[in-house]
Structures are given as structure tokens and as C-alpha cells.
Structure 1
Amino acid sequence: MRFQTPRGTHDMLPSQAHAWHWVESSFSKLARTYGYSEIRTPMFEDIELFIRTSGETSDVVSKEMYEFVDRGGRRLSLKPEGTAPAMRSYVEHSLGAAGGVTRLYYVTPVFRYNRPAKGRYRQHHQTGLELIGSPAPEADAEIIEMTVRHFQALGLRDLEVQLNSIGREACRLAYREAVLNHMASYLADQSEEFQATAQKNPLRLLDTKDPETRAALEGLPPITDYLEPESKARLEAIERLLAEAGIPYRISPDVVRGLDYYTETVFEITSGDLGAQNSLCGGGRYDNLIKDIGGPPTPSVGVGMGIERALLVLTELGLVPSAEPPMAFAVSGVPEASASVRSLAREVRAKGMACLWDVEGKAIKAQMKQVDRSKVRFALIVGSDELAAGTVSIREMATGEQVVVPASEVAAWLDARR
């Protein structure tokens, strides 16, 4: 029997690894320049963590979680998103005990049982940012700016922030009633399950892609009409900060996000390079999340970005850089040169450069075929003449040009040509 990857999953193959490393390292470097520290959380958590934070009626909890009971009778779930585990860790380990703001970033797999599609997997990977401990609009603006800078660093242009506020609890309660009143006749014709979901969280209707539901929403006043003065002032402050940073944005009343823990600011990042399916990622503020999982009231804001989605877009636009080939392949022209070749390879690697060699003792013709297949920049050839003279013949594979260099100077010679 031949086994395959489970439906909705994929292997990262050697030919794809450089693209993944490029995205992940670019993100991590950016996060560190803003003073963020990496956090890593387990692949699975107590299922109640996600029920309490994402909402029992959310698609994530009601339809998409990989849940199981372990041998100790504990009800667990593979993590469907990265924010709740990061917040759980923040509370459990008292990361905010010293006071002030805590800045965290992560790169993690997440798991959702959804319908697989192009760029959409049941196991996918997220990069994320969390700024914990500040209610200031400057915190929201920092997260949004970092998200835009991340995609700009990868080469994406024509980026725009779709910005909205879903206000405080009183505002959301009033708007929920407004949505239900506006949609009453439409909901009456829907299934009991649809009606029950809408009753529990009517704001999710705004996030729908269903054409009929979207048509029924026509004429509904935006939630910004219901904002309290403090929420309006926050939104206006974020607008000023984004304008100051030169980041294009627009107020988008349809942006509400699909998880229950969001409060106040919500946003998505879109790119004009992408056509109709132009959304890259989203995030927002969740001032009640830490309190909901047993911690003290702690204002927080963050974002999650899908790596597969980004790579799909970057590949289609031709923005993924070519993989850097290995620097060299050390070739033994005669059996008695094998020890010298191994020593040479070690010296090159000690300088931080990749160097291959033939582990099977093949003839030089077969080794040179390996050199071609490996796509290295240089072949380091040690034959009987070179062995006797203490030299190495270095062939540049792209041009065929060859020079002779003392064996003790090869590593430095290559280092100068990185």
C-alpha cells in the first residue's frame, strides 16, 4: 500500500523550502526590529480555550476544530488559530508581571477541518503578532503598520488597509438588534440552524460571502453610525496614525472578523495585485480575551497571517526569489585525495558556506555529473597533481573558467566571492 498526505494537507518539498524560509525569516526579522519576542505554544490545547474565546457558534468551534479525548479523559483540540494559545501562555506564565507592554510574535501550524481549496488547507501555517497591555490607538496602528511592512518587504504593492470599528459592548448590542430587525424577513425564510446562528451573533452576517445574504443586507446602516464617542475618537486617531505612516486605508463597514473575541478595531489587508480575492489577512483588538480565560483585564491587539496564502500570491506574481545554490562541491580526482577533499569541505563549511562531496567514492566523471545536478557555483577538484602540489583547481560552473589556488586559501577565496 502506498500512503499519501491526508486530504487537506501538503508536504513542503526541498524545492519549496527556500520560499518558506524567505517568508518566515523576513517576518521574524521585521518582528524583532520592532522589539517583539518569539513565543511557541503546543499543537493542542484544552478545547474549552477555543470555545470560550472564539465563540461556541463560530464556524471555527462548531464546524472546523480537530477535537479528541486523550487517554486521561481530557478533551483537547489541535489549535485552529494562534492568538488564544499565545494569550493562555501570557496568563499562565505571568508574562506581564513586570508591567508595561508585552510584544510577542509566532510562526505556527494551525488546523481547521474545512473544505480544501487552492491555497486553503486543513493544516496551514500562520505568522502572528500580539501587542499586549496597551489600550492606546498607537498600539493598533503599530500592528497594522507592521503587517503592511511585512507584505511590502516581500514585494507586494498596491496594499490597502480595510479598517473598521465594532465598538464597545453597548454599541455591539445595539447594532445586533439593528441587524436582526433589518434582516427579519430574510431570516424568516432561512433554515432553523441559520436562524439560530444569526440570533447568537448577527454580526457574522456582515462577514458572509453569500450573494443572497449580501443582497438582504443592502440598506443596513454601518456600525460606525452606532459608535460611542470614545470609539469614534479611537478610530479617528488610528486613521491619523496610518496617514502619518503613509499607509493607504479606507473605512470598510463590512469588516467584522469571524471570531467572538474582537472588540473595537478590526482590519483586513488587501492588495490590488490580486483581483477579486484580494484579502491577505486580518486582525484587530481583543480587550476582553485575557479576562475571559482567567487573567486580569488586559487590552490587546494582534494579527494572524497565513503563510500558504502569501506564498500562493507571491508565486503567482513571480515575486519569490530563486534559491541560492550551494557554494561548492569538493571533487576527489583520485582515491588517495579523499581525506584532503573531506578536510577541504570542512574548512569551507567552517566559513558558513555550503559544500558537498561524494560519499560513495565514485569516479571523477560520475562526481562531475553530481556537480552539475547539484547546481553549485564552484567545483573544487583535487587530483594527483593538486594533491602533490598542495593546491586545488577551482572551476566556476557557470563559465567553465578554472583557476589554481593553494589548498590553505580556498575557503578564503570562496568567502570573498559570496
Structure 2
Amino acid sequence: MAKTIQAIRGMHDVLPEQTPLWQAVEATIREVLSAYGYSEIRLPIVEKTELFKRSIGEVTDIVEKEMYTFDDRNGESLTLRPEGTAGCLRASLEHGLLPNQSHRLWYYGPMYRHERPQKGRYRQFIQLGVETYGMPGPEIDAELLLIMERLWQKLGLRAHVRLELNSLGTLAERAVYREQLVTYFETHSQQLDDDSKRRLHTNPLRILDSKNPALTEVIANAPVLFDYLGEDSKAHFTAVTDLLTHLGIAYQINPRLVRGLDYYSKTVFEWVTEQLGAQGTVCAGGRYDGLIEQLSGKTGHAIGFAMGMERLLALLENQNTLALAKPVQVYLVRVGEQAQRPGLYFAERLRDAIPHLKLQVNMEGGSFKSQFKKADKSGADYAIIVGDDEVAQGVISIKSLRDEQGQRALTDAEAIRFFQQLYL
């Protein structure tokens, strides 16, 4: 007997009983982004490896350990995208969307990282990305947070997430801070774990993001980046927080919130939850003006965020806050040889009359009793019965599956009007 082939570890299927929740969330995301004037951009899953080495950096865990990289038949090094920001900016530069223009873009799709799979972290994961270009002021920072605030409200999750903010200032300001941070951690090197020691001279800001409880006190007493910011960076951050306060959006300032890449500047933020254990960050973003210069050699302004869909779906499943549409509203039962084609014909007439109606026709055959069981199991509100008797009498029988209403016999036209009153 042939061995059953299974999905690759860390890459999972979304089964039919799970997809209604995904579809409902995706529809809500589209609705909210459309309300703010954001346009969808669709990007390749595969990019040149050089793009990620230049944007993310060669001395990072993502590039060194996590990327799915291979040589194609022409000997060119290609990579399955580990994140979307670099590809979105590459496309914007390639197609002339920058510079001296402003754009609000979003994308959605799979990303790939070869890391140890665990709950909320997969090797193939679905991500929403929202990117904006050409707007330097604090208002666009606030708008991105408004978008997420509105999305949380629509999904019924606002009470289960909190917004954390920080400012990373400029690269020059961080360079001064970095020296102070290295000096501080060197004096406490005996208390650092191996991961932090490795980062000390390559990426010391990431030590502040350590989840090791043994480092809590050392990190708490470390120098604070905000103390090293210039007046412009402080004014930008104050303007963002003032806007949020005026708009009634609750937030917490987290001075230890950082990013591991040098191209980030000024505002950074995360939406976090206590409901998912260690994988508590559901959405993260920030201003990355430096990446435009890094990839194009020209100055520019950019800020965006990314949200992992699997974590969002896990949070929704925990809270059960989203009402889902029925996958089937009406189920058509056909019983008898003379009823087969008339049943199909009537189903098409009904779909013409009510384009959005979710109508499923039984195609497996079987007894009236077995078909009615399938109608009930489908979750439909009503069953339409087309049997030899109905065909002979020129009627359609309708039976409610969710209450004790009796079965009624209607002409084709009456049956169509009946369902139009319910579903149009």
C-alpha cells in the first residue's frame, strides 16, 4: 500500500470548515482598507535573494538561518519571500511609484521562514501588509493606527489587544545610544545569556526585546533611547501621541520596543494580546524611511505594518466574536427520475433571480430521507423539494429546516418571489 504523502512540516492546510472565518476576516480587512483609500498591490512570492540581503541585512537570523533560498536553472539565487515590505518597495521603485509621489498600498499572501514550527508560528504563514510612501508627517503614522483600531472594533477584539508605542529616533541618534547601551551591557556581561552576548556587538538593541525572564532586571535598568533623541524626533512622537489621545485611541509607551534593522526610524508600534501565550504580537509596524535610501540611493518617507493572519484567526477563535455567514442558505433535493433535470433548471432560474443566494443542489442521489439529512447537515435555512409528484403538478415544495413551519407547494414564479423576499 502506498505511503500517504503529508504536508510539509510547518505548512498547513485550511480546511472547508475553517475557510468561512478566513473569508469573513478577509472581507472585513478589504472593507476597512478601502474606507481609508488604500489600493491592493499583488507581488511575486519569489524575489532575487539580493533584495532581502540588502534590505534585511546579511548578518540577521532571517537571512542566515530562515530563508528558503535556491538557485534556479540559470544559476540565479532566488528566495521565497520571508516578508513583504522589501518586495513592495522594490515593485514601487521598479514601476515608478516613487519618488515625489504618495501612495497607500496593501498586499496579502503567504510568506516563508524556515524556523521551528510552534503554535502561532509557521514556515508558511499568511500576512497582511500595509505600506505608505511619500508622507513624512505624524498624521500618516496615526492613520495606520486608526485603521487597526477600526479593524479591531469591527472584529470585536478591541478589548483583547493593546497598542504599544515607541520612537527609535534617527540613525545618528541611535548610534550614540547604541554606544551607551553596549557599554552598559558589557558591565553586566556575566548576566547575559548566549543569545544576548551574540547580539551585543552586532545588534544590541535587540537585547532589549529579549523574552528571557532572567534578563528582566538588567534590561529594566538599561539606558532609555528616548533620552538620546533630538528635538525633531521628540516632536514627531509627541504629535503622534497627541493625535491618538485626541482621537480616543488608548496606547502605552514602551521604551523597550525596538526593531532589529537600522532602516527603521521614529515611530514604531505593536498591537499585542495576552490571549496567545508567547506569540502575543498580532500586528507590528513602524517608519522605515531608511529602506528607501538603502534600495534606491534617494531619500524618501515610508511607514507601514504587517499582521500575521494565523495569530489573528487564533485570537478570533479564542474569543468567538465574529458572526459567520451560512455557507449554504437553500438546499435543493431531487427525488425521482422525472425530477432530475427540472430540479437543475429551477436552481439556475433561482440563481439568476437572486445572484448572491447560496444554493446547493444534491448531486449524490439517494432516498428522500437521506437527502433531507444532508440538507439539514448543510446548515441551510430551507429545503427545496423537486420530486416526480411536484413535476407532475407543476409546483415546487419548500420546507423550513430551522422551525416548525409546514411544507408549502408553490408555482415556480411564487417560489422565486418567496426567496426574493427573504434574500434579496
- The interval holding the TM-score normalised by the smaller chain is over 0.9
Equivalent residues in 2 for 1:328-347 (5 A)?
328-347=330-349
Q: State how far apart, in whole Å, the 1-side matches of 2:386 and 2:181 are.
A: 78
Equivalent residues in 2 for 1:384-395 (5 A)?
384-395=388-399
State the match for 2:417 in structure 1: 412
CA contact (8 A) 2:191 2:215 kept: no
1:198: Cα distance to partner?
2.4
2:81 pairs with one of 68, 79, 82: 79
CA contact (8 A) 1:348 1:354 kept: no
State the match for 2:385 in structure 1: 381
Distance 1:240 1:396, change over 3 A: same
CA contact (8 A) 1:165 1:224 kept: yes
- Normalising by structure 2, report the TM-score: 0.92
Q: State how far apart, in whole Å, the 1-side matches of 2:164 and 2:334 are.
A: 60
State the match for 1:127 in structure 2: 128
Q: State how far apart, in whole Å, the 2-side matches of 1:193 and 1:337 are.
A: 71
What is the Cα-based RMSD across aligned positions, in Å? 2.1
1:250: Cα distance to partner?
1.8
1:229 pairs with one of 224, 228, 231: 231
SS at match of 1:162: strand
State the match for 2:366 in structure 1: 362
The answer to whether the aligner puts 1:403 opposite 2:405 as a matched pair is no
Matched to 2:118, the amino acid is A
Equivalent residues in 2 for 1:264-303 (5 A)?
264-271=266-273, 278-294=280-296, 296-303=298-305
Query: Percent identity among equivalent residues?
Result: 39
Distance 1:258 1:347, change over 3 A: farther
1:311 pairs with one of 310, 313, 327: 313
Equivalent residues in 2 for 1:65-76 (5 A)?
65-76=67-78
1:394: Cα distance to partner?
0.4
1:87: Cα distance to partner?
0.7
State the match for 1:3 in structure 2: 5
Equivalent residues in 2 for 1:180-219 (5 A)?
180-187=182-189, 195-219=197-221
Instruction: Give deviations 1:86-144, integer Å, cap 9, x for gaps.
Output: 111111111246x5420001111111111211121111111121111110110111111
CA contact (8 A) 1:148 1:269 kept: no
CA contact (8 A) 1:182 1:217 kept: no
SS at match of 2:28: helix
1:150: Cα distance to partner?
1.4
Q: State how far apart, in whole Å, the 2-side matches of 1:272 and 1:279 are.
A: 9
Q: State how far apart, in whole Å, the 2-side matches of 1:191 and 1:333 are.
A: 71
CA contact (8 A) 2:165 2:269 kept: yes
Matched to 1:15, the amino acid is E
- Normalising by structure 1, report the TM-score: 0.94
1:276: Cα distance to partner?
7.3
Q: State how far apart, in whole Å, the 1-side matches of 2:139 and 2:106 are.
A: 18
Unmatched runs of 5 consecutive residues or more in structure 2: none
Matched to 1:168, the amino acid is T
Deviates more, 1:69-78 or 1:366-375: 366-375
CA contact (8 A) 1:108 1:127 kept: yes
Q: State how far apart, in whole Å, the 2-side matches of 1:403 and 1:179 are.
A: 78
Q: State how far apart, in whole Å, the 2-side matches of 1:309 and 1:349 are.
A: 36
CA contact (8 A) 2:335 2:365 kept: no
1:155: Cα distance to partner?
0.7
Matched to 1:343, the amino acid is Y
Distance 1:297 1:334, change over 3 A: same
State the match for 2:264 in structure 1: 262
SS at match of 1:217: helix
SS at match of 2:166: strand
Q: State how far apart, in whole Å, the 1-side matches of 2:410 and 2:223 are.
A: 76
CA contact (8 A) 1:160 1:247 kept: no
State the match for 1:38 in structure 2: 40
Deviates more, 1:389-398 or 1:57-66: 57-66
Instruction: Give deviations 1:312-340, integer Å, cap 9, x for gaps.
Output: 11111222434514121222232112111
Instruction: Give deviations 1:46-88, integer Å, cap 9, x for gaps.
Output: 1111111112222222221111111111111111111111111
Instruction: Give deviations 1:196-240, integer Å, cap 9, x for gaps.
Output: 532122111111112234433232121000000000000000001
1:291: Cα distance to partner?
2.0
Q: State how far apart, in whole Å, the 2-side matches of 1:193 and 1:406 are.
A: 75
SS at match of 1:14: coil
Q: State how far apart, in whole Å, the 2-side matches of 1:253 and 1:191 are.
A: 21
CA contact (8 A) 2:196 2:207 kept: no
Unmatched runs of 5 consecutive residues or more in structure 1: none
CA contact (8 A) 1:207 1:258 kept: no
CA contact (8 A) 1:91 1:295 kept: no
1:185: Cα distance to partner?
3.1
CA contact (8 A) 2:120 2:279 kept: no
Q: State how far apart, in whole Å, the 2-side matches of 1:363 and 1:192 are.
A: 68
SS at match of 2:78: strand
Q: State how far apart, in whole Å, the 2-side matches of 1:177 and 1:21 are.
A: 48
1:405: Cα distance to partner?
2.0
- Number of residue-to-residue matches in the alignment: 417
SS at match of 2:398: strand
Deviates more, 1:51-60 or 1:279-288: 51-60
Q: State how far apart, in whole Å, the 2-side matches of 1:277 and 1:72 are.
A: 39
Distance 1:123 1:274, change over 3 A: closer
Deviates more, 1:196-205 or 1:374-383: 196-205
Q: State how far apart, in whole Å, the 2-side matches of 1:152 and 1:272 are.
A: 17
Q: State how far apart, in whole Å, the 1-side matches of 2:108 and 2:414 are.
A: 40
Deviates more, 1:126-135 or 1:324-333: 324-333
Deviates more, 1:294-303 or 1:187-196: 187-196
Instruction: Give deviations 1:259-317, integer Å, cap 9, x for gaps.
Output: 44311111111246667764322100000212211263220000000100011111112
